[in-house]
Structure 1
Amino acid sequence: MTILLTIVLSFLVFALIIWALMHMRTPRFRMERRDFLKGLEDAIAGQADDNEWRVLVGYPMRHDPELEELRLECLEIEEDEYTGMLPYLFTEVGLERLRDVRRRLLDLINQQNNTL
């Protein structure tokens, strides 16, 4: 009887663990427009380091095509104007191009707020 009870309890615990693992979701990183704006402003103000910039532009924004377009433009700016020197990671031309991206992002955020 004890062996049968042990086998049943073991099976139930095992089944519970398998069920829990099947229903767990993998964590997803999803940057919203406001978060991207904050990262851009930090880079423009000289308050972002290399790691912060990598996080900002390193993940595709599949959930927001307009934001993905701006992210790709930031990667182009990085390719042309990135210095990696603190406090400003970009040349003056690069900072001006980032300011332009920031203006367009603010327009997108304002359009989004007006439609809500």
Structure 2
Amino acid sequence: MTIVITLCVAFCVFAVIVWGLMHMRTPRFRLEREQFQQGLEDVITGQADDNEWRVLIGYPMRHDPPLEKLRLECLQIEEDEYTGKLPYLFSDAGLTRLREVRERLLALPPQSDTD
């Protein structure tokens, strides 16, 4: 009798664990426009370090295609103008290009909340 009870309890515990794992979502890092803008401003003003820059451009922005386009442009600017020296991580030309990206970001129409 105890074997049957043990098997039933073990099955129930196993079923709960499997159900829980099936319904868990992987964590997502989602950068919004305001956060991206603040990150750009920090880089432009020399208040960001290399780690902050990596977080800013390191994650695809599938939830916002116009923002993803600007992120990819920032990656190109990094490839061309990145110095990695503090306080300014970019050359003067790179900072100018980042300012242009920031202006285009500010000019984007508001994002619809259809997610």
SS of structure 1 residue aligned to 2:31: coil
- TM-score of the superposed pair, with normalisation by structure 2: 0.92
Shift of residue 67, structure 1, vs aligned partner: 0.4
Runs (5+) with no aligned partner, structure 1:
none
For 1:33, the equivalent position in structure 2 comes to 33
For 2:103, the equivalent position in structure 1 comes to 103
Shift of residue 65, structure 1, vs aligned partner: 1.0
1:2-47 Cα shifts (integer Å, max 9, x gaps): 1211110111001100100010001111111111101101100111
For 1:91, the equivalent position in structure 2 comes to 91
Q: How many residues end up aligned between the 2 structures?
A: 113
For 2:81, the equivalent position in structure 1 comes to 81
SS of structure 2 residue aligned to 1:112: coil
C-alpha distance in structure 1 between counterparts of 2:72 and 2:17, whole Å? 42
For 2:7, the equivalent position in structure 1 comes to 7
Runs (5+) with no aligned partner, structure 2:
none
1:39-93 Cα shifts (integer Å, max 9, x gaps): 1011001111111111111111111110011011111111111100000000111
Out of 94, 109, 112, the residue aligned to residue 110 of structure 2 is: 112
Give 1 or 2: higher helix fraction: 1
Q: Aligned AA for 1:112?
A: P
Q: Aligned AA for 1:4?
A: V
For 2:49, the equivalent position in structure 1 comes to 49
Is 2:65 the partner of 1:59? no
Q: Aligned AA for 1:83?
A: T
